[in-house]
Amino acid sequence: MASGPFGRDRQDPLEFLPRATRFSGDPDLVDPVQIVRYIQAQPMVLLAIQRGFGLVHDPDDPNDDPSQWLNPLMGRPRAPGNWPLLFLAFVLSRTSSIQAFVSLNGSSQLWTECGFDKPPALQTVYDRFGELEKYVAAPSNGNPRRPDGFLRAATALIAKARTHEPQIGRSVNVDGTAIATHAALVHSCPASTACGRRQEAQAKQRAQRSLPRAAPKKAGHGTRVQSAPIEVINAARHQETEQAAPETGDRTRSPNALVALDDAAVKALGLDPELRWWKQKDKKNVWHYHCSLDNTAGMRRYTGKNGGKGKSWLGWNALKAVDSYTGAPLAIQLIAADAQEYAHYEALIDHVHVTTGHQPQHMTGDRGLAIKDVYRVNSERGIGSVLPWRQTTHIKQRRELENDTVDRHGVPRCKHCGAETHAKGTGLVVLSACADGRGG
């Protein structure tokens, strides 16, 4: 008889629900105005959003601090309107520019549906959306993300869906997707270096010829580094996982990540502190410096073949845990591009636990997650790991793990018959059902 929170035993076959999340086929679910109306008609979801962003008091949350609310009781009262709903509509509109979003919806019913008397000023929209972004990203109480209104609403929806289908969250697939920033990466060495002096001279020549500036205004000089297409970046990421799993050193950052400069190094070199700076050695072992206006993005650079032109990736990695039954994302961690995916895996599983209320029975992933840290997290939480083999520094082939005592999965074998053994209680004693009745 099936047991547990998912209505299925661990050994039961996995099931799949085809086309369960093909929302693009429903016109109502791609219309921001219609989605806002759906949320307004769902008191449970609307209340979760309002409480998560401090629009109303949450009596069940001991950390509900009115001083951190988006609509504080002190100070000048704000005009009526639900900013989280408007922000959600902005995201669903797939419009990257706030100015374009406000202009395109000038006469739309969206403002009325979100509770506004009239469209706010453009600067007000910028300010309120900025507040929401900071609020959503703020950590709280060790959780992978603060339980903001969007996370609470998603949790409420998933909880409702699980009352109809408890298999949701039973098995998750974890994978990362490369995201590139729109900001440019600029090779801009300080004037104290030979490369920096050469770049300053080139910048003056461009200015005399009235050519457009290649570097950000704050950098003053330099040349743009062409970013590789996302398809090329993903191919390079997958090639990186073919290498041996790291076992020593700083395993939280990719070996292809550029060295990020801290505030002290930026100040010592006389660089602009408002920019994000990295450094990298060339083939002659000379340091070169790169900068970007985006202070949140990470940087990787993959060397080309035979030392040729490399591939630059400036941006982030969206690490997702997707429900295998419905294909719906249960948790997303947005990490800088220079960070390793497995360094954020435990926080992602914490997020899944917060969203579904349970640990999954199984997780699947690619070779990039096939390292000891991920296996340890899953073993401690009772999660089955379905991952391809990845070599380590000392073990090149999986068959090297086999011997007379254990198999390639680390399961002890009976010394009499070679059969798989089973743990008895919580100790180290193992037993097997040998034909002659002897134990392992």
Least confident range from 27-31, 353-357, 369-373, 397-401: namely 397-401
Give the closest residue to 324 by CA, choosing from 170, 110, 440, 143.
Answer: 170
How buried is residue 427: exposed, middle or buried, by Cβ count under 10 Å (0-12/13-18/19+)? exposed
pLDDT value of residue 311? 83
Q: What are the extents of the domains in the chain?
A: 10-164, 179-316, 402-440
Say whether pLDDT at 191 is over 90: no
Residue burial 90-112, b: 16+ Cβ < 10 Å; e: rest: bebbebeeeeebbeebeeeebbe
Predicted TM-score of the model (pTM): 0.78
Say whether pLDDT at 140 is over 50: no
The 10s digit of each residue's pLDDT in 156-174 is 888 889 989 999 999 999 9
- The 8-class DSSP code of residue 185 comes to E
pLDDT value of residue 308? 47
Percent of the chain, pLDDT > 70?
79
pLDDT value of residue 295? 86
The 10s digit of each residue's pLDDT in 322-372 is 999 999 999 988 899 999 999 999 999 998 998 898 999 999 999 889 888
